Structure 1
Amino acid sequence: MILVTGATGTVGREVVRRIPPDLRFRVMCRNPEGFAGLRAQAEAVHGDYRDRPSLARALRGVSAAFLVTAEIGGDQDARFLRAARSAGVRHVVKLSAAAVEDPGAEDLITRWQRGNEELLRGSGMEWTLLRPRSFMSNSLSWAATVRAERVVRGLCGASGNACVDPRDIAEVAVRALTGDGHAGRSYTLTGPEAITAAEQTAQLAQLLGRPLRFEELGPEQARTALRGKYPHALVEALLESAQRQRAGAKAQVDGTVPVLLGRPAGSFRAWARDHLSAFV
């Protein structure tokens, strides 16, 4: 039995879609009713990282698990791994981040992910770490202003980011969950090229068939905008990450996706074409 956490999230939902139809699996979520009928072989169960009995129920009979946590600075990983080890889980595939490999990355988010990776490596279970660069789907945050103003506003408009299609991350995750040879491996996952936000905006404009412009936000403008969504510590971590991108820290393309999947990594243009309705 495979368990998928984060099954309503960007990567988790794509993992659910890609698990082979002959395999039984379980999804852990706060609202199992929302998964009714999504996949015939899927069992949806209620689970909460802070609820030990619910974790035990979700992990009963599970041999491999896909782990996604989102409480920055929290102890969700520790709680899950204790429960997984007690339940006899053999293999955990964890969604981490490419920044953990960058010695210059010391922001809150990266330090939290590094700590979580250490917990998994020391858990006594087999592990696989997925370290993606930024998701191409992050550009969905532009949709409202693209529709209303034909504008994209953001930081680092001229700095490249080798962002990755979440569908590629999910396909790698499913291979790690269902195949051999992935235990003890760490995979850096990127797209096929480093692309700037301004270039992404131009590609969106071509696909939409209407002009768009990119407006660069200064650090204080970005700080003000982010404070409306996130707590102070997370805002500062995001701004630190943006500074690293300006310095070129996110532009390196890794060849792991094509090696593992036997095809080129998905491009931003292809991702945008498949999600164009969000920007219309």
Structure 2
Amino acid sequence: MILVTGATGTVGREVLRQIPSDVRVRAMSREPDRLAAVLGTAEAVRGDYDDPRSVAKALTGVESVFLVTSRVGRDDDGRFLRAARAAGVRHVVKVSAAAVADSRADDLITRWQRVNEDLLRASGMEWTLLRPRSFMSNTLSWAASIRADGVVRALYGGSANSCIDPRDIAEVGVRALTEQGHTGRVYPLTGPEALSAAEQTAHLSDLLGRPLYFEDLEPAQARTLLGARHPEPLVEALMRSAERQREGAKTRVEKTVQEVCGRPARSYWEWARDHLTAFVPA
């Protein structure tokens, strides 16, 4: 039995979609009613990191776990891993972050992920670490302004990021869960090229067949927009991450998807083509 946490999330739902139909799968969510659209043949179960009983129940009979946590600064990983070991889980595939490998990265989010990786390595269970660069799907945050006035606004629009299609992260994760030879491995994951926000805007413009315009945000503007959604410590971490990108820290392209999946990583153009309806005005 495989347990997929974060099953309604960007990567978790893709893991559920890609796992072979003959593999027993359980999908965990704090709100299992939301799982209907992504379940397939999986079993739905409620699991809340703040509710140890629900997590213990979700882990019953589970051999392998796809682990996603997102509440920065919380001990969700530690509590889950202790419960998983107690339940007899053998292997955990965890989504971490590419920044963990960058010695210059010392923001709150990266420090938290480093601690979580150390917890997994010390857990006594077999492990596989996925370290993706930024998700291509993050550009869905531009959809409203593109639909409304054909404008994309972002910080440091000329800085490049070797972002990755979440479907590729999921496929590497599924292979790690269902094939031999992936335990004890760290997989850095990127797309096939490093692109700036301005270049991504140009791709979207070509696909939509309409002009789109890019506007650079000033740091103060970006900080204000982030502050409307996140607490100050997280805003500071995101701003520091953007500064590292401006300095060129996120341009490295890895061949991991090719090596693990036997095909090249999907391009941003492919991702945008497959999600184009999100950017089309009603």
The two structures share one fold, judged by TM-score above 0.5: yes
Corresponding position of 2:256: 256
1:245 CA drift (Å)? 0.2
Aligned residue runs from structure 1 range 1-280, under 5 A: 1-36=1-36, 38-280=38-280
Report if the CA contact (8 A) 2:164-2:266 is conserved.
yes
Q: CA shift at 1:149, angstroms? A: 1.2
Deviation at 1:38? 4.2
| Root-mean-square deviation over aligned CA pairs | 0.9
TM-superposed deviation, 1:60: 0.3
Q: CA shift at 1:31, angstroms?
A: 1.9
Give the percent of matched residue pairs that are identical in Structure 1 and Structure 2. 68
Amino acid at match of 2:241: S
- 2:27 touches 2:39 (CA, 8 Å); kept in 1? no
Secondary structure at the counterpart of residue 215 of structure 1 = strand
Mapped partners of 2:224, 2:37: distance in 1: 42
Summarize deviations over 1:89-136 as a string: whole Å, max 9, x none.
Answer: 000000000000000000000000000000000000000000000000
Cα offsets for 1:60-97 (capped at 9, x unmatched): 00000000001101000001000000000000000000
> 1:122-176 CA distances to partner (integer Å, 9 max, x unpaired)?
0000000000000000000000000011000001211110000000000000000
Structure 2 unmatched runs, 5+:
none
Contact kept in structure 1, 2:61 and 2:87, CA below 8 Å: yes
Is the 2:4–2:28 Cα contact (8 Å) retained in structure 1? yes
CA contact (8 A) 1:25 1:42 kept: yes
Count of aligned residue pairs for this structure pair: 280
**Alpha-carbon distance in structure 2 between the residues aligned to 1:269 and 1:134:** 15
Distance change in 2, residues 1:278/1:91 (3 Å): same
Query: How big is the shift at 1:218?
Result: 1.3
Q: Distance in 2 between matches of 1:38 and 1:140?
A: 19
TM-score (norm 1): 0.99
Moved more, 25-34 or 226-235: 25-34
Q: Is the 8 A contact 2:161 2:245 kept in 1?
A: yes
C-alpha contact (below 8 Å) 2:6/2:29 kept by paired residues: yes
Contact 1:47–1:58, Cα closer than 8 Å, also in 2:
yes
Secondary structure of the 2:44 match is strand
Cα distance in 1, alignment partners of residues 33 and 97 from structure 2: 30
* Greater mean alpha carbon deviation, residues 212-221 or residues 81-90: 212-221
Is the contact made by 1:23 and 1:41 (CA closer than 8 Å) also made in structure 2? no
Amino acid at match of 1:139: T
